[in-house]
Amino acid sequence: MNERLMQSTGSPWLAGSAFPDAGALHEDTVADVCVVGGGIAGLTTAYLLGKAGKNVVVLEAEHLAAGESGRTTAHLASALDDRFTELEKLHGSEGARLAAESHAAAIDRIEAVARDEGISCDFARVDGYLFAPRDEQRDVLDRELAAARRAGLEVEPLPRAPWPSYDTGPCLRFSRQGQFHPGKYLAALASAVRRQGGRIFVHSPVKVFEGGAKARAETRAGHAVRAGALVVATNTPVNDRMAIHTKQFPYRTYAVAFGLPTGSVPRALYWDTEDPYHYVRLAEAPGGREILIVGGEDHKTGQGRRHEPDCFSRLEAWTRERFPEAGEEEYRWSGQVMEPLDGLAFIGRNPGDENVFIATGDSGHGMTHGTIAGLLLTDLILGRENPWAKVYEPSRKSLRAAGEFVRENVNVAAQYLDWVMPGEVGGAAKIAPGEGAVVREGLRKVAVCKDSDGKVHRHSAVCPHLGCIVHWNDAEKSWDCPCHGSRFSPQGQVINGPALGGLAPAES
Ligand SMILES: Cc1cc2nc3c(=O)[nH]c(=O)nc-3n(C[C@H](O)[C@H](O)[C@H](O)COP(=O)(O)OP(=O)(O)OC[C@H]3O[C@@H](n4cnc5c(N)ncnc54)[C@H](O)[C@@H]3O)c2cc1C
Ligand code: FES
């Protein structure tokens, strides 16, 4: 059985995107820089370092854009969803200004790379509209308008966003935002890395990370890359067991794409101020048609809403009320974002390691955060000054976010109570084909799922990272850990870190 046979969702970005052919790493090698992870952060870093003359090797566990970069909605926004009012409180007015400046520069850089490399990736400059659907939230917009202007963004208040069939109420219009097709962009970026002499290896999961004068990454197959610098761009830092994972928290987020009569809704980015919030854009579909992509319904991974497919139903209901012109559903998918406790990514030197760099904490702005990672890590590795280094420093102390730190880590600690709870169902007989549940067998907890043919898969329900009990995700047909976001296939193989290995067999 294919390891993802039960996976039920997919985005519009990967089919038809021409990624260069690549094989697995089959021997030891050396490079100036070894980049681990073939998403936007890893490929942008590899591209910019290659352009600066560095000899780069990229190691990807699966295929390029296999992670969240293939599951994004690809808004390119400097209007940050953690809000400038909050970022000012957490990072001061200069920190908020640097955050705005860096995200705007990332959009500029994507535009420049697409132009310089001749990449047809549907890049477009669009406006972004932030609206407050409920009366009591309207002062949020007034405060955000002032804070975003202080941060240096071009923004103006308007009575409503330009939706033809629905009055959003007052909104803010942010200029010079962007959108693109991430599959086309990343496929071309990978080809550019190759043209510069960079080497890309897929199906090469790294399991050992070592810092030092000659840093080292060793794949599960036992082949190693020695390099002057190691960049861990695996979305969540799989080289780190604890430190960063107490400062960022995994959330699932959902997206649905509907057919749309071309030109019926103005092309722009749209966001509301609800909690959880909604995000909307349009995109070109094959044949020149237009699709409307609506995202939202975020919740902590493995927690809260126990039936993930309901998140799609809620998104559809929300969309049909506001966009009566929306046609058939064409795609649905979900993914994971890492929410840093103070709203900004962690990009820079890995705390306590020599010549090891990380990029994580994307907070739903990973297209721009990943591009900032490319720019910032290139400067750090080349020994150049970068004005954003301090705000993204991974070892920073976020004292102003101490309340959030306590709240989130108490939530993580509470997940260990699952050890003493009864199983979710009495036994495998109660589990339908295509579903899974945790079953108690004496003192053990067993993750039991059935594939569509009714074949039973049994694994230990204990996450190999730090021992929380996994939960079944019925939308993605995966086992998700509620503590730090590790995820596993029905066959127990690891899909997302920080776990580096899979679930143990149930009978071990
Ligand atoms: C539904 C959804 C909507 C989103 N919308 C937006 C948006 O509109 N705008 C925006 O800016 N961001 C958005 N995001 C966030 C954005 O997509 C991500 O933050 C971004 O893609 C992360 O890029 P990355 O390169 O850090 O990680 P990834 O793309 O996940 O890449 C990491 C790679 O590392 C590989 N890997 C992992 N472990 C190993 C290992 N041990 N060895 C080798 N390789 C390994 C993985 O296979 C993966 O390919 C959204 C995310 C989701 C899920
Ligand atoms: S991801 Fe940390 S315990 Fe599972």
**Whole-number pLDDT of residue 127:** 98
Asked whether residue 134 carries a pLDDT value surpassing 80, the answer given is no
Asked whether residue 306 carries a pLDDT value surpassing 60, the answer given is no
Binned at pLDDT 50, 70 and 90, residue 2 comes out as very low
Of residues 82 and 42, more confidently modeled: 42
**Whole-number pLDDT of residue 32:** 98
Choice among 138-142, 189-193, 203-207, 384-388 with the minimum mean pLDDT: 138-142
- Name the residue among 307, 46, 308, 90 with its Cα closest to residue 196: 46
Binned at pLDDT 50, 70 and 90, residue 5 comes out as very low
Q: Is the CB of 358 under 6 A from ligand 1?
A: no
Q: Average pLDDT in the 442-466 region?
A: 91
Asked whether residue 3 carries a pLDDT value surpassing 50, the answer given is no
**Whole-number pLDDT of residue 181:** 97
**Whole-number pLDDT of residue 216:** 98
Among 4, 69, 293, which is best to mutate for testing ligand 1, by the most ligand atoms less than 8 A from CB? 69
Mean of all residue pLDDT scores within the chain = 92
> What is the atom index within ligand 1 of the atom nearest the CA of 254?
1
**Whole-number pLDDT of residue 1:** 32
Model-level pTM? 0.95
Of residues 43 and 362, more confidently modeled: 43
In 293-319, which positions are buried (b, 16+ CB within 10 angstroms) versus exposed (e)? Answer: bbbbbbebbbbeeeebbebbebbbebb
CA of 484 to the centre of ligand 1 (A): 15
437-446's contacts with Cβ under 8 Å and 24+ in sequence apart are 437/472, 438/469, 438/470, 438/471, 438/472, 444/506, 445/418, 445/419, 445/469, 446/506
**Whole-number pLDDT of residue 276:** 87
Asked whether residue 6 carries a pLDDT value surpassing 60, the answer given is no
Asked whether residue 304 carries a pLDDT value surpassing 70, the answer given is no
The pLDDT tens digits of the residues spanning 258-289 come to: 999 999 999 999 999 998 899 999 999 877 88
Q: Average pLDDT in the 400-414 region?
A: 71
Q: Is the CB of 337 under 6 A from ligand 1?
A: yes
Q: Average pLDDT in the 429-435 region?
A: 88
Asked whether residue 8 carries a pLDDT value surpassing 70, the answer given is no
423, exposed or middle or buried, with CB in 10 Å at 0-12, 13-18, 19+?
middle
**Whole-number pLDDT of residue 429:** 83
Ligand 2, atom 1: closest residue by C-alpha: 484
The pLDDT tens digits of the residues spanning 10-39 come to: 899 998 888 999 999 999 999 999 999 999
> What is the atom index within ligand 1 of the atom nearest the CA of 279?
8
**Whole-number pLDDT of residue 4:** 40
What percentage of the chain reaches a pLDDT higher than 90?
A: 79
Q: Is the CB of 25 under 6 A from ligand 1?
A: no
Q: Is the CB of 445 under 6 A from ligand 1?
A: no
Structure tokens at 109: 């850089």
Binned at pLDDT 50, 70 and 90, residue 476 comes out as very high
